[in-house]
Amino acid sequence: MKRLNRYHVLPALALLLFGAVLGVQFDSHVTEDDALQQYKKLKSAFAIISNRYVDEVKSSDIAEEGVKGMLKSLDPHSSYIPPRRVKDTRDRYKGSFGGIGILFEAAGSEQDTARVISPVADGPSEKVGIMAGDRIVEIEDSSAIGLSATEIQDRLKGRIGTEVSLTVYRPLSDKRLTFTITRDEIPLYSINSSYMIDNETGYIEIGRFAMSTYDEFMKKVDKLKGEGMERLVLDLRSNPGGVMKSAVQIADEMLGRPGLTIVKTKGRRSTMNQTLRSQAGGALSEQPVIVLVNGQSASASEILSGALQDHDRALLVGRRTFGKALVQKQFELNDGSLLQMTVGRYYTPAGRLIQTPYEKGNRKQYYENKSASWRDAVYNVRKYKDSIPDSLTYKTEHGRTVFGGGGILPDYIVQPDTTSLATFIRGGQLDAIFAQQWFSKHEQQLRSTWQDRQDEFLSSYRVPDEAVSSFWDYAQEEGVLTLTSNPDSVDTSERVFLEARAQETRDVVQSRVKGRLANELYGTGAGQSILNKTDPAVQKAMSLWPSSEKLAGFHSASSVGVNE
């Protein structure tokens, strides 16, 4: 007989946990006879497996796999969070944690050390003298060599007010230094980058939505306004979502008029049926706004972009969004683990459900269908629009056509040039991987020259020709691409490009590598202004301001009223 393992065990204990979780008896939630009988069936199965299976089984394993199995039979986004991951998950939503305040890159091998990318400004580490480039060699007198990012985080995080000893090696001075650092509340910033693209255009990139995102956003807006911002590029690309409230608050700052629907939620319980509306005024109620989105913009990102599109408030540029319109809530189980479970759906102001359709329990088919429709939405837009039934076609506040049924289609779609070598470099993150290696080899020279000169680096540093040549050598040695002098050998589907194309993309390579080096020197987002200069979506957005200004004027000229 085939031996069972824990993945074949019925999810027996899962339902038993609910009583302890919610502090009530399970029977008070189950009123139908059939549901109660099914509960008893699972209870019996768990008892039989626990006592009679040929090998001893661990109850916690059966329970955990059972819960996962139950959730797997639901929608594609309900999930189980084990106890060991709960704190990190809650920290991400909260937007802060107790720690020492450093951004670091984990060791690349068992013999390597983690490198401090930058200390958080005015954080505990910066105050005691930790510097960018320091190597973490010991934590509390125990070696930190070869530790993973998670292992280092576990040792450095802790209760606010407690102390931790950290020993670093500083390459610039060839010294080992030991610091005693008092842990404090460390913000997990949501804003990856913000700067002025030109004298009137501000740029803000939101990487995720946490409880702190709205406050962060408003501080950046105030700063950019002080620098002359009259219009905004809001970058939500690859933003997976997070806290809905923050997205709603930011939308409110742009809509300006009172009573406009921002989002509607509907669920099985009446408490989920609500409409969130805008208030009067707003810090960005009149400025032209362009929102950048892509296939990884999801959930709260789609709430924000959908509200702005439906009210003709902003021009959306990029590629179709992910298509996740499920409202989720966390339920704590008796061992501290969490069910992150779907309890409702949200709808845009025009009434769109932009959730990609799914069959319960069939996640593989869900993602395959999503990928196929996304390709049409990017490369064959007419076919994609024609495939959408009339029932999923909607009108914006002023009559533009928008679509439901799977993500948000931008107003202007930026199609990638699949034959372009530059597109391949950007899409494959080849520039980032190379820049990390180049930086490691030349770190001491770069830091000694540019460490405290960020503005000068961004304005005047030029990536040497040697680095560009090494970039192409690296790409070919790693088998990432092939350069050929024979035009007949070119096959972009197999990553074979003409050597002449490499020369033509020289400026792109220099710009991309420079931006990545800035991130290595000064922290995540420091080089975004450089990277955006060769970003097709950003550059296209900068040519579309007349359309965005028309929407802004249309919106501000509208009469005040409630939009259902």
- Please give the backbone phi and psi of residue 290, each rounded to the nearest 5 degrees, phi first: -120, 130
- Supply the pLDDT for residue 109: 64
| pLDDT band at 291; cut points 50, 70, 90 | very high
Nearest to 287 by CA among 308, 262, 306: 308
Most confident option among 286-290, 380-384, 495-499? 286-290
- CB-based contact 191:220 (threshold 8 Å): yes
| pLDDT band at 326; cut points 50, 70, 90 | very high
State the DSSP code for 134: -
96-187 is a CATH 2.30.42.10 domain = yes
- Say which residue, 406 or 289, is predicted with more confidence: 289
Angle between helices 300-310 and 244-255 (to 10 degrees): 20
Mean pLDDT, all residues of the chain: 86
- Please give the backbone phi and psi of residue 84, each rounded to the nearest 5 degrees, phi first: -65, -20
Q: Which residue intervals of the chain bear CATH 3.90.226.10?
A: 191-361+407-415+544-556
Task: Give, rounded to a whole angstrom, the gap between the first and last alpha carbons of the chain.
Answer: 62
Burial level of 137, CB count in 10 A (0-12/13-18/19+)? middle
Most confident option among 126-130, 138-142, 261-265, 444-448? 261-265
Instruction: Determine the Cα–Cα distance for residues 362 and 189; give it in Å rounded to an integer.
Output: 35
Q: Is the dihedral of CA 364, 367, 371, 373 positive or negative?
A: positive
Which range has the worst mean pLDDT, 94-103, 337-346, 387-396, 549-558?
A: 549-558
Burial level of 218, CB count in 10 A (0-12/13-18/19+)? middle
Q: Cα 115 to the chain's mean position, in Å? A: 23
Question: Is the confidence at residue 13, as pLDDT, over 80?
Answer: no
Q: Which residue intervals of the chain bear CATH 2.30.42.10?
A: 96-187
Instruction: Determine the Cα–Cα distance for residues 485 and 499; give it in Å rounded to an integer.
Output: 6
Which are the catalytic amino acids? Answer: 299, 310, 324
Pairing of strands 231-235, 289-293: parallel
Tell me the average pLDDT across 330-359.
Answer: 92
Tens of pLDDT, residue by residue over 385-442, are: 999 999 999 999 999 999 998 899 999 999 988 778 888 887 767 888 889 889 989 9
Helix residue ranges per DSSP H, 108-174: 124-128, 149-156
Tens of pLDDT, residue by residue over 21-69, are: 333 334 444 456 778 888 888 888 888 888 888 998 888 888 888 888 8
CATH superfamily label, 191-361+407-415+544-556: 2-enoyl-CoA Hydratase; Chain A, domain 1 (3.90.226.10)
- Supply the pLDDT for residue 14: 37
In angstroms, what is the C-alpha Rg of the chain? 26
Helix residue ranges per DSSP H, 380-498: 381-387, 421-427, 430-450, 454-460, 465-477
Question: Is the confidence at residue 310, as pLDDT, over 90?
Answer: yes
- Supply the pLDDT for residue 495: 85
